[in-house]
């Protein structure tokens, strides 16, 4: 067989096996399509291999370590608690391995063929898949582009030995003595705080006025307080200027209020955002439209301007979140199979695994007002919840935002332990068009953190039992 001559034909070709791609492939296969997935690296994509899963694994190890050292309040004292970081890394890797193995089995079990390599569009119905310099041709009726994103590399801070992206930060062989993080978004804060809990001296350099700029100040304040306790130094309104590396460290020059400063650390972690992987696919070759940021333009059915080509996940506009990608993957697959599916959600929850954790869904109070609502809000503090106290977790609050006239729930913000799980109820409430009363009248188990959601809605109705209203 001459390389490059062999052509395979499939119904649906999915580019990328991340949370968007593998879900799209499975749904398309469930709907009777012959599906092939092309993946250049590991099955599971960024989320499973270099994102959500490994970061959460390391964060939970860091929390466990912190609790072992700081449970004196509850009468638990431990001496000589040690961290074997190579073992932590190995454990994290088994978690990743189990999940990526699971995705592999799911693809196989659904009859989806997996091809390793890098795809390049040749025509709107054909790609070449390269493995090194060799390639095979694949023809398809429909294609779903789900090639994801990668960390932004700043020109002044090229990734290399001591200047690292989130990818390397997740796989460091040892706990660094010190680390500077450029970018106080959720990735920078999660990873920075994790290493700080393991004893690393962490400094965060954020350009805007507050870290975690997508969240309200009343939420972020709780995280700032904890970061301080964890020994993290945060510089906001600071501008990273340049870095100089040696074999053992890196010195960052930065600017605050026009003042020049510098700091030396073992590593410089740059987490200033992500860019879509749309630059090496040959999209121009077939006329697939991108915007100036490299994001592929799609309609409400994830269709690009080229009839049979779809795009989902981080390569399209919207929050770069795994659950958004998976949702779009199902929509694209269903549309290809002839269903009249569409992207039609009212809200997407976003969560940060900081300490304390943050979760938000729907509209904030400010956004609801901007959209012309007369707003009713209700808040409930962890400090007044029995379960929170029994967990020794009394920092944080649940805030519910609703339209005052109709009582319809518009949004919810939570800061505190368990927030990422607690937010699910409010996502459902918003999708269902539930009112404050609907939630207040739903019996929540006692004692649980979930009761705070019920009580926050009662407070919004002016009927809170465990809160004294002045």
Q: Shortest gap between Cβ of 20 and other proteins (angstroms)? A: 19
- Contacting residue, 406, 442, 463, 467, with other proteins by CB under 8 A: 406
Q: Shortest gap between Cβ of 427 and other proteins (angstroms)? A: 11
Say whether residue 341 binds other proteins (CB under 8 A): yes
CB 353 within 8 A of CB 58: no
Gyration radius (Cα) of the chain, Å: 24
185 is in an annotated binding site: yes
Say whether residue 346 binds other proteins (CB under 8 A): yes
Q: Shortest gap between Cβ of 30 and other proteins (angstroms)? A: 16
| Antiparallel, parallel or unpaired: β 233-235 and 201-205 | parallel
Q: Which span (44-52, 221-229, 417-425, 432-440) binds other proteins, by CB under 8 A? A: 432-440
Closest alpha carbon to 89 in 55, 52, 123, 133: 55
| Antiparallel, parallel or unpaired: β 7-15 and 134-145 | parallel
Segment 271-290, which members bind other proteins (CB under 8 A)?
Answer: none
- Contacting residue, 11, 297, 367, 431, with other proteins by CB under 8 A: 431
Rank residues 297 and 431 by Cβ distance to other proteins and give the closer one: 431
Say whether residue 369 binds other proteins (CB under 8 A): no
Say whether residue 367 binds other proteins (CB under 8 A): no
Q: Shortest gap between Cβ of 289 and other proteins (angstroms)? A: 25
Contacts of 419 (CB under 8 A, 6+ apart): 351, 356, 357, 358, 359, 396
Residue 188 tokens, joined: 């920078």
Q: Which span (101-109, 111-119, 189-197, 333-341) binds other proteins, by CB under 8 A? A: 333-341
Residue 307 tokens, joined: 């009839």
Give the three-class secondary structure for 19.
helix
Q: Distance (Å, rounded) from C-alpha 77 to C-alpha 69?
A: 7
Say whether residue 441 binds other proteins (CB under 8 A): no
Q: Residue 31: what are its φ and ψ, rounded to 5°?
A: -90, 15
Give the three-class secondary structure for 295.
coil
Rank residues 177 and 339 by Cβ distance to other proteins and give the closer one: 339
The dihedral through the CA atoms of 115, 118, 123, 124 has a sign that is positive
Q: How many helices (H) and strands (E) does the chain have?
A: 14, 22
Say whether residue 338 binds other proteins (CB under 8 A): no
Say whether residue 326 binds other proteins (CB under 8 A): no
Q: One of 142, 323, 339, 446 is an active-site residue; which one?
A: 446
- Contacting residue, 229, 261, 433, 446, with other proteins by CB under 8 A: 433
- Contacting residue, 340, 465, 468, 470, with other proteins by CB under 8 A: 340
Contacts of 64 (CB under 8 A, 6+ apart): none
Q: Shortest gap between Cβ of 344 and other proteins (angstroms)? A: 6
Question: What secondary structure does DSSP assign to 156-177, as a single string?
Answer: TB--SSSEE-HHHHTT-SS--S
Say whether residue 408 binds other proteins (CB under 8 A): yes
- Contacting residue, 152, 342, 383, 441, with other proteins by CB under 8 A: 342
184 is in an annotated binding site: yes
CB 24 within 8 A of CB 144: yes
Say whether residue 432 binds other proteins (CB under 8 A): yes
Q: Distance (Å, rounded) from C-alpha 387 to C-alpha 394?
A: 9
Q: Shortest gap between Cβ of 336 and other proteins (angstroms)? A: 16
Rank residues 319 and 433 by Cβ distance to other proteins and give the closer one: 433
Rank residues 300 and 446 by Cβ distance to other proteins and give the closer one: 300
248 is in an annotated binding site: no
CB 230 within 8 A of CB 193: yes
Q: Shortest gap between Cβ of 432 and other proteins (angstroms)? A: 5
| Antiparallel, parallel or unpaired: β 118-123 and 113-116 | unpaired
Q: Which span (10-18, 171-179, 262-270, 429-437) binds other proteins, by CB under 8 A? A: 429-437
Residue 352 tokens, joined: 């940060």
Q: Residue 219: what are its φ and ψ, rounded to 5°?
A: -85, -50
Q: Determine whether 446 is an active site residue.
A: yes
Q: What is the DSSP letter of 35?
A: E
Segment 154-193, which members bind other proteins (CB under 8 A)?
Answer: none
**Residues belonging to the active site:** 446
Binding site for other proteins (CB under 8 A): 339-342, 344-346, 406, 408, 431-433, 435
- Binding site per annotation, positions for FAD: 56, 147-149, 314
- Binding site per annotation, positions for NAD(+): 183-190, 206, 273
């Amino acid at each position: 067989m001459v390389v490059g001559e062999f052509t395979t034909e499939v119904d649906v070709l999915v580019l990328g096996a991340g949370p968007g791609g593998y879900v799209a492939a499975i749904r398309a296969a469930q709907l009777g399509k012959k599906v092939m997935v092309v993946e250049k690296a590991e099955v599971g994509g960024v989320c499973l291999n270099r994102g959500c899963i490994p970061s959460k694994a390391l964060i939970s190890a860091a929390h466990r370590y912190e609790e072992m050292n700081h449970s004196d309040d509850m009468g638990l004292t431990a001496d000589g608690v040690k961290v074997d970081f190579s073992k932590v890394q190995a454990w994290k890797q088994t978690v990743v391995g189990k999940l990526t193995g699971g995705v592999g089995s799911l693809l196989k079990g659904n009859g989806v063929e997996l091809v390793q390599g890098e795809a390049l569009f040749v025509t709107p119905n054909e790609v070449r898949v390269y493995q090194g310099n060799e390639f095979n041709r694949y023809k398809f009726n429909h294609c779903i582009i789900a090639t994801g994103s990668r960390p932004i590399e700043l020109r002044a801070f090229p990734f290399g030995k001591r200047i690292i992206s989130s990818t390397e930060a997740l796989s460091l062989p040892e706990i660094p003595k010190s680390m500077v993080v450029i970018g106080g978004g959720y990735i920078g804060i999660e990873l920075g705080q994790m290493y700080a809990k393991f004893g690393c001296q962490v400094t965060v350099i954020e350009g805007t006025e507050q870290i975690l700029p997508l969240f309200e100040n009343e939420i972020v304040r709780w995280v700032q307080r904890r970061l301080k306790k964890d020994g993290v130094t945060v510089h906001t309104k600071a501008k990273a200027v340049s870095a100089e590396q040696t074999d053992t460290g890196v010195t960052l020059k930065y600017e605050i209020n026009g003042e020049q400063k510098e700091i030396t650390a073992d590593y410089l972690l740059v987490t200033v955002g992500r860019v879509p992987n749309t630059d090496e696919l040959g999209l121009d070759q077939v006329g697939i439209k991108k915007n100036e940021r490299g994001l592929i333009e799609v309609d409400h059915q994830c269709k690009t301007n080229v009839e049979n080509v779809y795009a989902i996940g981080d390569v399209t506009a919207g929050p770069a979140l795994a659950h958004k990608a998976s949702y779009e993957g199902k929509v694209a697959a269903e549309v290809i199979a002839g269903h009249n599916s569409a992207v039609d959600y009212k809200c997407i929850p976003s969560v940060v695994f900081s300490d304390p954790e943050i979760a938000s869904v729907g509209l904030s109070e400010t956004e609801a007002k901007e959209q012309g609502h007369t707003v009713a809000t209700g808040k409930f503090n962890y400090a007044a919840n029995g379960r929170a106290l029994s967990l020794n977790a009394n920092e944080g609050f649940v805030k519910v935002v609703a339209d005052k006239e109709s009582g319809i729930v518009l949004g919810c913000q939570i800061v505190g332990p368990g927030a990422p799980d607690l937010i699910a109820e409010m996502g459902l409430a918003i999708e269902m068009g539930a009112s404050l009363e609907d939630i207040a009248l739903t019996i929540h188990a006692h004692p649980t953190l979930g009761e705070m959601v019920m009580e926050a809605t009662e407070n919004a109705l002016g009927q809170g039992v465990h809160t004294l209203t002045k």
